[in-house]
């Protein structure tokens, strides 16, 4: 599938999401609800999770229309989690725009996040399938647990790959898994197809978390829509940091630990210095290779599905994510 076809999928979903938003605003036009819903429309996003839900339903021979309300619910859930995430991380920028808390203040942003969670539940209930309601609801709990465990990583002297993966699977991969699995269930897939698509979502979700780690320290804010080095400023033990702490000399390790401890507010010099250490330790290359392994596994998980356009699109989504980041990072930092 060419990029143009994926863009068409985004346009299709945005149209359907827009119809739901417009109807909701007609029913209840309170200012805070309008702010919550128009924010989603204005800031956009890749819409990967809902598109994966729709394509998964089609990939097992079902109809995307049956999965549409669930796909919208998952997108609302994802955006709600981002609102709360921006509050926790004190992030002022989201998708090249002021973040929700930066625009409305923290208190109003919390309410907006809660509203989006509530609207997500309403859309989810429309699917009428208890199994789907359960698995998407479990994803909400997984996201919250992942956020909490991420806090614990900040307090560890040296985190390890196992603890990092636990956070990545809960915080990020949970919605990818729910999207693919829900779509497969709603599409009438058999047990093998459902499990394969669920595992596809899990591996793709972990790959995206690793890619986010890389882009945070190596990405161009003009393209990523976020300030560089935010994870470092927040004391996050990302995959790159964990690798560098095991592959750098003692002085470099102590420097990284001092920055992560937030003994002082890291400036651009500190961010650049940490990046240099990550490059010298081979941490960026390691993260890219690991992300590529997860993408490869995701693609292999659905290789056995019957050939279809939906399957090809799911394969493209996985591969395109990797190709995009390799082009963005490799020549400069590897």
Mean pLDDT across the chain: 90
Domain range enclosing 80: 3-333
Question: What's the rounded mean pLDDT across residues 185-196?
Answer: 98
Under a CB-based contact definition with an 8 Å cutoff, are residues 107 and 28 in contact? no
Q: Give the pLDDT of residue 279.
A: 94
Does the pLDDT value for residue 301 go beyond 90? yes
Q: Give the pLDDT of residue 333.
A: 67
State both tokens at 29: 């036009």
Q: Give the pLDDT of residue 172.
A: 96
Q: Give the pLDDT of residue 332.
A: 61
Question: What's the rounded mean pLDDT across residues 296-306?
Answer: 97
Under a CB-based contact definition with an 8 Å cutoff, are residues 292 and 200 in contact? no
State both tokens at 239: 């995959």
Closest among 223, 216, 328 to 274, alpha carbons compared? 216
Q: What is the CATH number of the domain that holds 205?
A: 1.10.600.10
Question: What's the rounded mean pLDDT across residues 141-161?
Answer: 86
Q: What angle do CA 334, 324, 83 make, to 5 degrees?
A: 105
Does the pLDDT value for residue 330 go beyond 80? no
Q: Give the pLDDT of residue 73.
A: 97
pLDDT digits (tens, 9 = 90+) for 91-101: 887 877 788 88
pLDDT digits (tens, 9 = 90+) for 164-181: 999 999 999 999 999 999
Q: Give the pLDDT of residue 334.
A: 60
How many folded domains does the chain comprise?
Answer: 1
Does the pLDDT value for residue 155 go beyond 90? no
pLDDT confidence band for 227 (50 / 70 / 90): confident
Query: Which of 20-29, 54-63, 321-330 reaches the highest mean pLDDT?
Result: 54-63
pLDDT digits (tens, 9 = 90+) for 61-72: 999 999 999 999
State both tokens at 198: 């669920």
Q: Give the pLDDT of residue 153.
A: 82
Sign of CA dihedral 189, 190, 195, 196: negative
What are the start-end ranges of the E strands in 292-333? none
Under a CB-based contact definition with an 8 Å cutoff, are residues 112 and 36 in contact? yes
**pTM of the predicted model, to two decimals?**
0.94
């Amino acid at each position: 599938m060419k990029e143009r076809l994926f863009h068409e999928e985004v346009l299709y979903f945005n149209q359907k999401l827009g119809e739901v938003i417009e109807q909701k605003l007609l029913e209840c036009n309170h200012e805070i609800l309008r702010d919550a819903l128009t924010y989603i429309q204005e800031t956009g996003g890749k819409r990967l999770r809902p598109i994966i839900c729709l394509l998964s339903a089609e990939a097992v021979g079902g109809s995307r229309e049956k999965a549409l309300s669930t796909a919208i619910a998952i997108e609302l859930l994802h955006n709600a989690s981002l609102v709360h995430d921006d509050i926790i991380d004190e992030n002022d920028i989201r998708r090249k725009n002021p973040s929700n808390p930066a625009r409305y203040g923290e208190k109003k942003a919390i309410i907006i996040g809660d509203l989006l969670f509530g609207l997500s539940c309403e859309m989810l209930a429309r699917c009428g399938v208890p199994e789907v309601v359960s698995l998407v609801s479990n994803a909400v709990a997984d996201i919250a647990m992942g956020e909490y465990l991420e806090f614990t990583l900040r307090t560890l002297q040296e985190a390890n790959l196992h603890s990092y993966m636990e956070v990545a699977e809960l915080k990020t991969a949970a919605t990818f898994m729910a999207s693919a699995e829900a779509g497969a269930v709603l599409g009438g897939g058999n047990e093998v197809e459902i499990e394969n698509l669920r595992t596809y979502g899990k591996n793709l979700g972990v790959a995206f978390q690793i890619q986010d780690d890389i882009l945070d320290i190596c990405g161009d804010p003009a393209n990523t829509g976020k300030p560089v080095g935010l994870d470092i400023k927040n004391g996050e033990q990302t995959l790159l940091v964990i690798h560098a702490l095991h592959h750098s000399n003692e002085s470099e390790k102590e420097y990284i630990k001092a920055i992560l401890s937030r003994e002082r507010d890291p400036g651009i010099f500190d961010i650049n210095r940490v990046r240099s250490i990550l490059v010298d330790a081979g941490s960026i290359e390691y993260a890219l290779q690991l992300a590529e392994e997860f993408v490869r596994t995701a693609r292999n998980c659905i290789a056995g599905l019957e050939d279809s356009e939906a399957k090809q699109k799911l394969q493209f989504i996985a591969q395109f994510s990797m190709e995009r980041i390799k082009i963005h990072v490799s020549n400069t930092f590897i």
